[in-house]
Amino acid sequence: MDSQNLRQRSRDDSGVTSAASATATTNEKSRNRREKRMEMAKRGLRSLVIAVSLPLSLTLLNIYLFGSGRGYGAQPKPFWFPPSWLLHTACLAESFLMGLSAWFVWADGGFHIRPTAFFLYTAYLGLSLAWLPTVFWMGASWAGLLVSLAMVATLLGCSRDFGKVNPIAGNLVLPCLAWAAFLVVVNLKLVFL
């Protein structure tokens, strides 16, 4: 073998460079996509925290200010009436579920598509915040009955509108609707005590 006649083939450096740059471009694009997804996830998590914590904090403030009033605790009640701590806990759970379902609707763009859903949600939020001081602090059972009936009506509307935008959001309203219907029964019994 004549090793002196062998020549080393030289590679085409332009082909190697273009392949390397194509790989770098692909890696950069995927990194940009990942960064965009992470940014969107952070924004989504931030909006979820706001959507859930705002109604929860308002409900907690409402319970703190008006929860141990003289209206509900002073009246004689049947055995099946929930104690005030259970009512407060259920109101917090209801606020959490409604905040979560409103976030699902907002994330799907439903408040822009169906503006009545936003108005129904804010009306519900105001009514749920008005029910506690009306019944617990003022002891106005008739007014509490009217507020709880209005809550049922707004929750029915929320369930319908939320369900058209996002079925999960519509289903999350149903336990809140059941709780509001129970509050109607409690208020009705308080009126006739």
Q: Which two tokens stand for residue 97?
A: 């579920």
C-alpha neighbours within 13 Å on the C-beta side of residue 77: 17
The four Cα atoms 127, 129, 130, 135 give a dihedral, to 10 degrees, of 120
Q: For residue range 116-142, what is the model confidence (pLDDT) as tens digits?
A: 989 999 999 999 999 888 887 887 889
- Contact present, 142 and 188 (Cβ < 8 Å): no
Cβ atoms within 10 A of the Cβ of 29, count?
Answer: 10
Kindly list the domain boundaries of the chain, sorted by start residue. Answer: 55-191
- Name, in order, each residue with C-beta under 8 angstroms of 76's C-beta and a sequence gap of 6 or more: 193
Question: What local confidence, expressed as pLDDT, does residue 153 receive?
Answer: 96
- Judge if pTM exceeds 0.85: no
Q: For residue range 5-53, what is the model confidence (pLDDT) as tens digits?
A: 655 555 555 555 555 555 556 666 666 776 766 666 567 788 888 889 9
Give the architecture (CATH level 2) of 55-191: Up-down Bundle (1.20)
Q: What percent of the chain has pLDDT over 90?
A: 39
User: CA 170 to CA 185: how far, in whole Å?
Assistant: 23
Count the residues in the chain. 193
User: CA 122 to CA 79: how far, in whole Å?
Assistant: 34
| Confidence band of 2 (pLDDT split at 50, 70, 90) | low
